[in-house]
Amino acid sequence: MKVYNFSAGPSMLPEEVKLEAQKDFVDYKGSGMSVTEMSHRSKWYDEIHTEALSLIRELMNVPADYDVLFVQGGASQQFAAVPLNLLVNGKADYIVTGNFAGKAAKEAVKYGDCVVAASSKDKNFTYIPEGVKFRDGIDYVHITQNNTIFGTRYTDRTYPVANCPIVSDMSSMILSEEVDVSKYGLIYAGAQKNIAPAGLTIVIVRKDLVGNEKPYCPTMLSYKTQADADSLYNTPPCFTIYMAGLVFKYLKKLGGVKEMQKINEYKAKLLYDFIDSSSFYTNSVNPADRSLMNVPFVAPSDELNAKFVKEAEKAGLVSIKGHKLVGGMRASIYNAMPVEGVKSLIEFMKKFETENK
């Protein structure tokens, strides 16, 4: 059955990427080996690794004074790695705009004087705080650029103004819209939403911020370790990096992040416009702060929400159940979700509304 997968992550990969990976799975380009089993020191893998690093630099227009690292452990591991590497003065401010932002702030408290400078918890994280003031002498401000569970995102209006590096968790929006990397001290992202299968984390860090890790920082969590070794200090997740490279090539062929952003804006507008025009479905996020990637919505009752999720799955619209912190539904419409997927969802929503009004 044709399925549209609205999972918040891991999530859809482009069809042509999957087909190419399948074709080459047992014998990669005549090497006689699968990428899943080749030495990370082989010439075959070296090309894959170097090309993937180079393509993400190109796609995100990463300035030369930034390192790009391929690491493991997901954003959750970066919640520790960031303070372990960046807390030189021992102080940092966090803006808490959701569940993962809160986890990042909580982990940082272990390593220094890290506080919550602002939070949108008062309205169940349905907005992004504006004009936040920060303490003097802090090492960085940490934000979560897109909030997967609550469906909000930062825009130019809410981007923090601070006299220190900005650290951003871009897990659920990396490569979905243009970003000026030079405005950030450090960017990190789990790959399993817009880039690759789970098991790879991207870190983009300004070189002057590398090399100040605490003495008890695990070697594998030190940015310097990974930067000095071109992310080959130990065996990297080779196959996942290979898949990331295929996605990068696909995105480049499509016209890069600029084109991708147009498609994402179009998809999101289709869905939000429909929800806003309906008296049956509701999205409670402040319109100016709405995510392009994750669209939470509810039907008029818990019973109808449960029925919606069940019937949607039968109709091939899978993993659309909302997170338990929000309830209802959530349509994650990452880069690989085709326009047709969003249109199918809207058609289903209309039909469900008619049948259940």
By beta-carbon proximity to its own copies, the closer residue of 290 and 321 is 321
**# of chain residues touching its own copies (CB under 8 A):** 69
By beta-carbon proximity to its own copies, the closer residue of 193 and 290 is 193
CB atoms within 10 A of CB 137: 11
Give me the 85-124 binding string for its own copies, x by CB under 8 A, dash otherwise: ----------------------x--xx-------------
Element (DSSP H or E) covering residue 246: helix 238-254
What DSSP string describes 109-164?
Answer: GGGSEEEEEEE-GGGTT-S---S----TT-SEEEEESEETTTTEE--TTTPPP-SS
DSSP annotation of 322 reads: P
* Out of 64, 131, 216, 357, the residue judged to bind its own copies by CB under 8 A: 216
Least separation, in Å, of the C-beta of 239 and its own copies?
Answer: 5
* Out of 11, 97, 145, 231, the residue judged to bind its own copies by CB under 8 A: 11
Contacts of 90 (CB under 8 A, 6+ apart): 112, 113, 139
Stretch that binds its own copies, among 50-58, 150-158, 193-201, 280-288 (CB under 8 A): 193-201
Of the candidates 110, 136, 206, 215, the residue with the CA atom closest to the CA atom of residue 167: 206
* Out of 50, 219, 286, 301, the residue judged to bind its own copies by CB under 8 A: 219
Of the candidates 57, 31, 23, 32, the residue with the CA atom closest to the CA atom of residue 244: 57
- The CA angle 316-246-48, to the nearest 5 degrees, is 145
By beta-carbon proximity to its own copies, the closer residue of 74 and 185 is 74
What is the distance between the alpha carbons of residues 26 and 117, in angstroms, rounded to a whole number?
A: 51
Q: How many helices (H) and strands (E) does the chain have?
A: 9, 13
What is the distance between the alpha carbons of residues 108 and 148, in angstroms, rounded to a whole number?
A: 21
* Out of 97, 319, 326, 353, the residue judged to bind its own copies by CB under 8 A: 319
Residue with tokens 């659309």: 320
What is the distance between the alpha carbons of residues 61 and 87, in angstroms, rounded to a whole number?
A: 27
- Three-state DSSP state, 196: coil
Give me the 238-257 binding string for its own copies, x by CB under 8 A, dash otherwise: xxx--x--------------
* Out of 124, 155, 182, 235, the residue judged to bind its own copies by CB under 8 A: 235
Least separation, in Å, of the C-beta of 116 and its own copies?
Answer: 18
Least separation, in Å, of the C-beta of 95 and its own copies?
Answer: 20
Give me the 298-317 binding string for its own copies, x by CB under 8 A, dash otherwise: ------------------x-
Q: Looking at residues 17 to 76 of the shown chain, list those that interact with its own copies (rule: CB under 8 A).
A: 18-19, 21-22, 25-26, 30-42, 72-76
Least separation, in Å, of the C-beta of 77 and its own copies?
Answer: 4
**Interface with its own copies (CB under 8 A):** 1-3, 5, 7-13, 18-19, 21-22, 25-26, 30-42, 72-77, 79-81, 84, 107, 110-111, 190, 192, 196-200, 215-216, 218-221, 233-240, 243, 316, 318-319, 336
